Amino acid sequence: MPWVFAPLMMFFMLALCIGVMWIMMRGMGRHGGRYNYPLDILKERFARGEVTQAEYEERRRVLDA
């Protein structure tokens, strides 16, 4: 019966590796692999009402350049 444990252990290790890779990549895929933290902050500030629409559009244009 020990021959059953080797394939089960291989399956477990493969599932563990896939799970770890999925967790690591989940945070990086928000912007298609492009890190755009300043724009996220600007969007949050606009949503909270800290900047007007005109300020938002001007700052977004500067950040996109």
The confidence score (pLDDT) of residue 8 equals 87
Distance CA 65, CA 24 (A): 29
CB burial of residue 39 (10 Å; 0-12, 13-18, 19+): middle
Residue with the bigger pLDDT between 36 and 16: it is 16
Residue-wise pLDDT for 18-54, tens only, equals 999 988 877 665 555 556 788 889 999 999 999 999 9
